[in-house]
Structure 1
Amino acid sequence: MTTARTTTTRRPRPRALGAAAVGLLALSACGADDGTASEEGIPEGELVEVTVGVLPIAPSVGIYYGIEHGIFEEHGLDVELEYADAGAAMLPAVSTQQYQFGIGNPNSVLNAADQGLDIRIVSGYTNSWAEGDDVAGVIAKADSGIEDWTDLEGASVAINALQTQGDLTIMESVENAGGDPEAVSFTEMPFPDMPAQLELDNVDAIWVPEPFMSQTLSDDANHLVGHSFQDAVPGMPTMVAFSSGDYVDQNPEVAQAFHDAMREALSAAQADEEGARELLVDFIDMPEEAAMSIAMEEFEAEIRTEEIDEVAALMVKYGFISEVPEMSEIYFVD
């Protein structure tokens, strides 16, 4: 294993995940040794370098807040962030330890478990709101005739990845409203491309989180159909932090340090909402006015296991996974 290094924390600049990493999903999780620490733990005054995969969306600012305020350094970690288009795209990099940790939706972890990959949830990250204005939604053109969930029957809906949070919660919302979820067609594309594709009528509706939801709704030609999280699993976790089972087992001190740093960072970001919003301007090049007005998710390191259990049951219901995994085996125990 690689020993911890003495250094100062780099100011991170997120980089894009190379497309070649996506093809590594079939590889074993034996991984490289980069970003590991000795079994004795992180020596005081030294830092372990770890790479964390994140999505280029507003809630990812929670970990950035912790980096900018020196919280990860205080826990012995030197964190570098890299961008990916979806949580599922991070799994190959996390499995092979190109990334030591990833931050994405819990559905990706459940999919990985169904494929026999050992991925562990190290901490919670963000949750949707059970009522009121939520942080993601389905948007259609105001003159499209799509007014509620049942109107999505026969329609094409853009989501960022197939068989994950978008299509799962939309299908459940359609069924709960009395419609046929199997009659909805889903198209995969990156979030930044969706508003333009909606405008060009290449899709009938789009499922987007912030900041894309507020940006798209700022055009009066569009309107909100509904918040699929709230109508499927109210208050469901939208993102969690995860790592490979091999990395956690080989580096429990690093996993614990990351867990503890996430708990402190997310609690601080939640308490300092204005400070977190200010960082969005630099973090994802968001205009200051938008950063101060978009809906933000709840930052919380506690893992909402009951809601994740509900998500797992829905994934079986709609054929996303073959069976509910042994849930106790996917959680990192601190």
Structure 2
Amino acid sequence: MNRLRKVSTVGAVAAVTVGIVTGCGDSTTDSGGGAAAGVETVRIGVGVDSAYTPFFLAESEGMFDEAGLDVELVQFAVGGEAVDALSTDAVQLAGTSEVTAIGRLNQNEDLRAILVYQESGDYLKVVLREGLSDVSEAQRIGFVPGLSELSALKLLESESIDPSAVEMISVGPPEAVPLMERGDIDAFVMWEPWPANAAEQGHQIAMSTGDYGWSYVHWLLGNESWIQENEETAQTLAGVLAEAAEMTEQDPQTAAEATEAATSVPVPDTLTAIDEIDFAVRSITEENLPDLQSVADYYVETGKADTALDVESAVLLDWYEGQGE
């Protein structure tokens, strides 16, 4: 029986860990919740926005059950928290952007990315405070550490603006619009629904990241030890996710309704996201390595890592055994 659980931002990893210890002791095999005896419960850490629509659709449509899997989706405020939960075995798999994941490599050397399930240059958008007409007028830029931050820095680079000339302010996604309303930040680069929420308050969506040549991918990650011990389960789950991604593109309305039920993101917002995101499961290939290494270099150049991160060792190239792979 598939389940979905939400975890608050504060103490997210600790909260999940406590819940797992309370619910099923030290084992990842859950005999409760309707799961068949001996079937391992796979907990997948996801965010609370439309970027995770295929997961919510698969859960809603019973696709994991049909494949003989017992899956629990554990929601976090941002994907980075889901990846952090891997280090405590609070979840077995997690989804987030490659930018956020690469930033976690020096904290968990066992992390391995196994596949891409979506990519886009349109989903993340630049928002300017009401009254501003150009990025050059923004003195205070809000960002969420990871993908949002790098996207903001890529924006400044594209506009030939020295990052030291602006104040970069770390924010939680729900804080961005209220901070803009108070005039505490002049701009932010973020995923939906926050740009749409800002636009409803009279602020301006100036562009998407693709407009200045920047796009991202989302990875599904796990610890190498778990992946090796559960290869068949992981491949089966990947196949379900691939089917759900294809269904998301073919039947956006059903996918959006599943996302709303899971996250309260309104259906129109998810329909917009599906139009802006390319949902499809594929392997990570050797051709992707140069772009990934450039992300790792960003962490060194900004002082977030002392030495260059070994990206190649953190991805399982050509892992997904789906159709056409």
TM-score higher than 0.5 here? yes
- Cα offset for 1:181? 2.4
CA distance in 2, matches of 1:33, 1:258: 23
More displaced, 210-219 or 193-202? 210-219
| Contact 1:112 1:118 (8 Å CA) reproduced | no
| 2:209 aligned partner | 228
CA distance in 2, matches of 1:58, 1:225: 21
Are 1:121 and 2:103 counterparts? no
Paired residues for 1:154-303 under 5 Å? 155-160=139-144, 162=145, 164-219=146-201, 221-234=202-215, 236-237=216-217, 239-293=218-272, 296-303=276-283
CA distance in 1, matches of 2:102, 2:267: 36
Q: How many residues align?
A: 299
- Cα offset for 1:50? 1.3
Equivalent of residue 147 in structure 1, options 120, 131, 134: 134
| Contact 2:105 2:314 (8 Å CA) reproduced | no
| 1:318 aligned partner | 302
- Cα offset for 1:280? 2.9
CA 192–326 in structure 1, closer or farther in 2 if over 3 Å, else same: closer
| Contact 1:173 1:232 (8 Å CA) reproduced | no
Paired residues for 1:2-41 under 5 Å? 9-10=1-2, 12-17=3-8, 19-22=10-13, 34-35=27-28
For residue 178 of structure 1, give the secondary structure of its aligned residue in structure 2.
Answer: coil
CA distance in 1, matches of 2:150, 2:301: 10
For residue 13 of structure 1, give the secondary structure of its aligned residue in structure 2.
Answer: strand
| 1:55 aligned partner | 47
Matched to 2:263, the amino acid is I
Matched to 1:299, the amino acid is F
CA distance in 2, matches of 1:64, 1:23: 23
CA 245–292 in structure 1, closer or farther in 2 if over 3 Å, else same: closer
| Contact 1:126 1:301 (8 Å CA) reproduced | yes
Are 1:308 and 2:295 counterparts? no
More displaced, 94-103 or 315-324? 315-324
- Cα offset for 1:147? 0.8
CA distance in 2, matches of 1:249, 1:192: 37
Q: Which runs of 5+ in 2 are unaligned?
A: 16-24, 31-35, 321-325
Equivalent of residue 137 in structure 1, options 110, 125, 145: 125
CA 206–13 in structure 1, closer or farther in 2 if over 3 Å, else same: same
Report the aligned-residue RMSD. Answer: 2.8
Matched to 1:331, the amino acid is L
Structure number with the higher helix fraction is: 2
| 1:4 aligned partner | none
For residue 113 of structure 1, give the secondary structure of its aligned residue in structure 2.
Answer: coil
Paired residues for 1:49-88 under 5 Å? 49-88=41-80
Matched to 1:301, the amino acid is V
